[in-house]
Amino acid sequence: MTDFQGIINSIHDHLSKEEVKGVVASYIPELSKQSVNSLGIFLQHLNGDSFAAGDADIPFSIQSISKVLALSKAIAFEDNRIWQRVDVEPSGNPFNHLSLLELENGIPRNPLINSGALVVADILVTHLKNPKEDFLNYVRTIANDQTINYNKDVAASEKRTGYKNFAAANLLKSFSNLKNNVEDVLDFYFHQCSIDMTCAQLAKAFYLFANGGKCVNNVQQIPVSQAKRINAIMLTCGFYDEAGEFAFRVGLPGKSGVGGGIVAFLPNNFIISTWAPGLNPKGNSLLGMQALEQFTTQTKLSIF
């Protein structure tokens, strides 16, 4: 029997003593208020057991992790038609890079870079009657937690400084790959990224990807075939231009966000989430990456 609690306690204690903890994101001013010393780890096993260490119950802005949740909701409306508007290839570029978008005629490389996530947001604005309210209710449902909410201060901070996202949305619009008003899509997108969750809530929200599309309440939210596809995209694209490094070092599908969160999972086994706001030069949590590498190394649990 693997001593999960002992392992994550040991990893937390070891990494808490690290002197180099990365740099907290400041291009979204509200995120710069986070402490670089925060570190949380949470493990949710599919058998119902859960294990926590450190700051696993402190809410943080999930940022780009929300792109996976938005994609799972958009697929419910569009099914395979979605792939006519956004590709599934790794970008090899930073999450907010624009040059490929123009070279490839307004079709984003994948749904987990900003331009691809804006296309997904456009789909949700089209199909949802009250997009922000309905999407939040979807996230609350799959996580089985009605306390999850938007962080209005973060959303406002993103809107004030999101110049590259405005540029990407207008570029998409120029290629007719945005159907709604740019302002409406961006307002939804900034709120989507501003959702606050704890490590525990995040692990529960991602339960459906580890469980063949069934959420923590055992309700089938997405088909097994689509869960498989989303998991593949997370493995190849979930960490932007560091996706190969994460697969190499950790060996799990997952997704990061510039709020310092990472969630990863072993299908049919467990979900593990970390939060450490200090980022590496690629925009991924420095200590979170190390924690997950140490976890899969010590447990020998990965997809490889």
User: CA–CA distance from 83 to each of 79, 89, 91, 107, 110 (Å)?
Assistant: 9, 11, 15, 9, 9
**Cβ atoms within 10 Å, residue 110:** 22
Catalytic residues: 64, 67, 189, 240, 258
Strands 278-279 and 50-54 turn out to be unpaired
> Strands 278-279, 270-275: parallel, antiparallel or unpaired by DSSP?
unpaired
> How far is Cα 212 from Cα 70, in angstroms, rounded to an integer?
17
Are residues 52 and 200 in contact, defined by beta-carbon separation less than 8 angstroms? yes
Tokens standing for 291?
Answer: 């924690």
278-279 vs 23-24, strand pairing mode: antiparallel
Report H helices in the chain: 4-16, 66-78, 99-103, 114-127, 131-143, 152-161, 163-174, 182-193, 199-205, 207-210, 224-237, 243-249, 286-299
CA distance 151 to 2: 37
